Chains A and B, each alone.
Chain A
Amino acid sequence: MVEPDVSVRRSTKVSAVQRREGRWSRLRWLGYLTPAVALTGLFIVYPAIRSVQIAFLSWPGYGPTRNVGFGNFTGLWHDAVARSAVFHSLIYATLLAGGTVVVGTVIAIAIDRKVVGHTVFKFLIFLPVLLPTTFIGLAWANGFDSYLGWVNPILSHVGLSHAWLSNPDTIIYAVVTAAILAGTGFPMIVVLAALGDIPQEIHEAATLDGVSSFQRAWKISVPLVREVLATLLLLQFIFGMGQFDFVYVMTNGGPGVSSEVISTFVYHQAFDDHRFGYAAAASLVMSLMIALLALLYMTAFRARGMTRAG
Chain B
Amino acid sequence: MISRMISSIGVLLLVAWAIAELLPVIASLLSAFKSSNDILLNPIGIPKRFVWANFAHAWSGPHFGMPLWRYAINSAIAVGVGVGVGMSVGTCAGYALVRSSRSVALLNRYFVVLLTAPGIVTWVPLFSLMSSFNLLSNRFGLGLVYAAFVTPLVTVLMRSYFAAFPLDLIEAAVIDGASETRAFLRIVLPTSVGVMSVVALIQAIWLWNELALAVILMIDPRSQTLPLGMLQLKGQFIDDYGYGAQYAALLLAILPIIAMFAIVQRRITDGMRLGALR
A residues engaging B (CB < 8 A)?
Answer: 6, 13-18, 20-21, 25-26, 28-30, 32-33, 35-37, 39-40, 42-48, 50-51, 54, 61, 103, 107, 110, 115-117, 121-136, 138-140, 142-143, 147-150, 153-154, 181-182, 184-186, 189-190, 193, 213, 228, 231-232, 235, 238, 241-242, 244-245, 248-249, 262-263, 266-267, 270-271, 276, 279-280, 283-284, 286-287, 290, 294
Contacts and interface: CB of A to CB of B under 8 A. Distances in A.
Contacts of A35: 88-89, 92-93
Interface of B: 3, 6-7, 10-11, 14, 17-18, 20-25, 27-28, 31, 36, 39-40, 43-44, 85, 88-90, 92-93, 95-97, 99-104, 107, 110-111, 114, 116-129, 144-145, 147-149, 151-152, 155, 167, 170-171, 174-175, 180-181, 205, 208-209, 211-212, 215-216, 226-227, 230-231, 233-234, 243, 246-247, 250, 253-254, 257-258, 261-262, 265, 268-269, 272-273, 276-277
B118 A287 contact: yes
A249 B129 CA distance: 26
A267 B22 contact: no
Interface secondary structure of A, over-half rule: helix
A121 B11 CA distance: 10
Contacts of A40: 111, 114, 148, 151-152
B208 A140 contact: no
Going nearest first, the 5 A-B pairs with the smallest beta carbon separation are: A139-B24, A29-B100, A43-B148, A32-B96, A36-B93
A290 B118 contact: yes
A55 to B, nearest CB: 9
A61 B128 contact: yes
Contacts of A13: 167
Contacts of B250: 135, 138-139
A251 to B, nearest CB: 13
A98 to B, nearest CB: 16
B43 A150 contact: yes
A23 to B, nearest CB: 9
B123 A128 contact: no
B261 to A, nearest CB: 5
A132 B155 CA distance: 24
B21 A242 contact: no
A193 B273 contact: yes
Contact of B104 (A26, A51, A190): A26
Nearest to A10: B101
A17 B101 CA distance: 12
14 contacts: A16-B174, A17-B170, A29-B99, A40-B151, A43-B148, A133-B209, A135-B24, A139-B24, A148-B43, A181-B21, A182-B21, A248-B212, A248-B215, A287-B121
Contact of B230 (A135, A193, A294): A135
Contacts of A117: 11
B104 A33 contact: yes
Contacts of A14: 99, 167, 171
B259 to A, nearest CB: 11
Contacts of B276: 186, 190, 231-232, 235
A47 B268 contact: no
Contacts of A25: 100-101, 180
